[in-house]
């Protein structure tokens, strides 16, 4: 069962920033560095317990049937499965999000792309959700075989505000506007996925949305760019 919580702090912050189109909850949350793919370390896992819940199975795969070329976009499929006997909680984020904030992909050598549902106008509710025993989550993330760029998230928002999702553009078109973007060389690259969660206390403790996650799962795969 989903839990919808109005967070006064979040609402106040949104009014201060003007709630402009293209500014989403992802801009200020702890997952942002992983989604931008700006080459920085995934600091959002600092202080969290890896594999806190041993009933969780987590994987990331690239199921492309064609060669992955430099400067192109491919999709990474992330699967979370609760095969244990406990219910865990995670942050969904804005109620308008389809992709949970708790899930993200990261690479220090490839450019990950913000999910399209994290762009544009968002609702101002704050949603947490449960993953019960036997439940699973499956989402696909877009990744581009270009070098990570610190301004890529800004480019993504700007283009979306103009009606274009950046993952739908080819590199040549992007370079006409953003000449700093460069394709990676052929080779092998590592992509990691993260899932942040909380295991409620024995006896049914509530999810501490202000305290954030307590544990995380990580999975990785190797991408061969030809």
Confidence of residue 38 (pLDDT cuts 50, 70, 90): very low
Instruction: Please indicate whether residue 204 or residue 141 has the higher confidence score (pLDDT).
Output: 141
Domains (range + CATH), the chain? 3-225 (2.60.40.10)
**Quick one: pLDDT at residue 207?**
53
Mean pLDDT, rounded, for 127-146:
97
pLDDT at 210: 56
Q: Which residue has the higher pLDDT, 171 or 123?
A: 171
Assign 130 a pLDDT band (cuts: 50, 70, 90).
Answer: very high
CA distance linking residue 30 with residue 32, whole number of Å: 6
Question: Are 160 and 166 in contact, with CB atoms under 8 Å apart?
Answer: yes
Name the token pair of 32. Answer: 């942002």
Chain segment 71-122, per-residue pLDDT in tens = 999 999 999 999 999 999 999 988 889 999 999 999 999 999 999 999 988 8
Report the distance separating Cα 197 and Cα 51, nearest Å. 10
Proportion of the chain above pLDDT 90, given as a percent: 68
- Strand ranges for 62-109 from DSSP E: 73-82, 88-93, 103-106
For residue 125, what pLDDT band results from cuts at 50, 70 and 90? confident
Euclidean distance between CA atoms 155 and 166, whole angstroms = 8
Q: Hey, what are 81's tokens?
A: 């499965």
Are residues 74 and 223 in contact, defined by beta-carbon separation less than 8 angstroms? Answer: yes
Q: Which band of pLDDT confidence, cut at 50, 70 and 90, is reported for residue 31?
A: very low
Residue 225, C-beta contacts closer than 8 angstroms, at least 6 positions apart: 68, 69, 70, 145, 184, 185, 186, 187, 188, 189
pTM metric for this prediction? 0.81
Higher pLDDT, 205 or 149: 149
State the CB neighbour count (10 A cutoff) for residue 158. 15
* pLDDT surpassing 60 at residue 164: yes
- What does DSSP say about strands 88-93 and 187-197: parallel, antiparallel, or unpaired? unpaired
Express each pLDDT in 184-226 by its tens digit.
999 999 999 999 999 986 444 455 555 579 999 999 999 999 9
- List all residues 6 or more positions away from 157 whose beta carbon is below 8 Å from its beta carbon: 22, 23, 119
Res 163: pLDDT: 96
- 26 CB neighbour count, 10 Å cutoff: 24
């Amino acid at each position: 069962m989903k839990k919808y919580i109005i967070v006064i702090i979040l609402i106040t912050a949104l009014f201060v920033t003007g709630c402009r189109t293209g500014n989403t909850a992802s801009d200020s949350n702890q997952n942002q560095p992983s989604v931008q793919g700006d080459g920085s370390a995934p600091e959002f896992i600092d202080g969290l317990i890896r594999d806190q819940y041993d009933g969780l199975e987590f994987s990331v795969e690239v199921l492309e049937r064609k060669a992955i070329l430099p400067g192109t976009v491919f999709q990474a499929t992330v699967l979370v499965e609760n095969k244990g006997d406990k219910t865990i909680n995670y942050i969904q984020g804005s109620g308008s999000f389809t992709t949970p904030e708790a899930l993200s992909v990261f690479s220090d050598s490839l450019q990950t792309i913000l999910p399209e549902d994290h762009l544009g106008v968002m609702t101002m509710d704050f949603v947490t959700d449960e993953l019960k025993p036997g439940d699973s989550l499956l989402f696909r993330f877009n990744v581009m075989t270009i070098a990570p760029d610190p301004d890529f998230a800004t480019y993504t928002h700007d283009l979306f505000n103009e009606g274009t999702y950046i993952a739908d553009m080819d590199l040549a078109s992007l370079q006409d506007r953003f000449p700093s973007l460069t394709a990676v060389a052929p080779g092998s690259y590592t992509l990691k996925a993260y899932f942040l969660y909380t295991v409620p206390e024995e006896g049914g403790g509530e999810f501490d949305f202000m305290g954030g996650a307590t544990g995380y799962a990580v999975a990785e795969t190797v991408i061969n760019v030809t």
